[in-house]
Amino acid sequence: MRKTNCFLFLLLILACQPGKAQSSKRSSYDHRKPTRKARIIYEDPPDTANRIMARFNFTGMLDPYDENASLGGEYKFAAGWSVGGDVAYIFNSTYVPNVKKTTGYIVRPFIRLYPDTWRRGFIEVQLHYKHASYQLTDWVGKDITNGVPAYEEFTTFYYKKKAWGFHFNAGSWTNLTANNKLRLEVFIGLGMRFKKQYTDNALYTPQKAAFMELYNPHYTTVVLPMGMRLVYDLKTLKQ
């Protein structure tokens, strides 16, 4: 039993070794023991302000409701602070049953803090705005008076959604290249989302949805944003 435990402990140590060889083009060699294999010690490069970065949030394409492609930028104007934003195009959706076509966009500006106590971590405040339009062919209520339609019509129409809110996110990253220009960033957060949903000059509520409360004309919910993105250093400006 003791031998098995020792073997498992050794495997754990070996498994943890690749994590120590993270990012940095700078390294130092220990030449004090020439008869042994040189030990490489990797160091994080000094943080540089006035840096412009491009961002690609590829997990947006896996969104369970509104699939989107997201691109953005970040400007690090101080060693511990940056501002930026992401813009996404919504190209497909399962938010509304039997949707024929979806178009829309998402805008997310943010301000970010890089704490000195956690070099590879960040916290940020992010604003969120989404506008989506879903093309459907179904029965809708017409000639509405005090929220009650006078009759129904089977037609093609657009069901629209506007959502705005804010997120508090935290995350970290790891370098993917030796020159530290390409990184993989992961994040998770907590926020509030406020939605308005409507059809122009008509009344419509999806009838085959799993969660009917999602389609209330005005809906407020708590959200847990999370995902991964690729970040690339485009340019370092002169200070």
Confidence of residue 73 (pLDDT cuts 50, 70, 90): very high
Q: Would 14 be classed as within a structural domain? A: no
What pLDDT was estimated at residue 77? Answer: 92
- In this prediction, residue 18 has a pLDDT band, given cuts at 50, 70 and 90, of very low
- For residue 1, pLDDT beyond 60: no
CATH number at residue 125: 2.40.160
- Mean pLDDT check: name the lowest of 119-123, 170-174, 187-191: 119-123
Q: Is residue 193 part of a domain?
A: yes
174: nearest Cα among 124, 233, 231: 231
How many other C-beta atoms lie within 10 A of the C-beta of residue 203? 16
Question: Which bin fits 120, alpha (ψ -120 to 50), beta or left (φ > 0)?
Answer: alpha
**18 is a domain residue:** no
Whether 33 is covered by a domain: the verdict is: no
Residue 13 in any domain: the answer is no
* Each residue's pLDDT tens digit, 183-212: 999 999 999 999 999 999 899 988 776 677
> Helix-strand-coil percent breakdown of the chain, rounded to 5?
10, 60, 30
Q: What's the mean pLDDT in 133-152?
A: 91
Residue 163's identity, in one-letter code, is A
Cβ neighbours of residue 138 closer than 8 Å, sequence gap 6 or more: 98, 154, 157, 204
What is the pLDDT at residue 19? Answer: 41
Confidence category of residue 12, pLDDT binned at 50, 70, 90? very low
Q: What is the rounded average pLDDT of the residues 28-53?
A: 58
Domain hosting residue 101, numbered range:
50-236
Average pLDDT over all residues of the chain = 82
pTM for the predicted model, two decimal places: 0.77
Q: Is the pLDDT of residue 30 over 90?
A: no
Total structural domains within the chain: 1
Query: Which residues make Cβ contacts (< 8 Å) with residue 35, sequence separation at least 6?
Result: none
Give domain status of residue 65, yes or no.
Answer: yes
* pLDDT greater than 70 at residue 24: no
Sign of CA dihedral 134, 135, 137, 141: positive
On whether residue 190 sits in a domain, the answer given is: yes
* Position 203 in a domain: yes
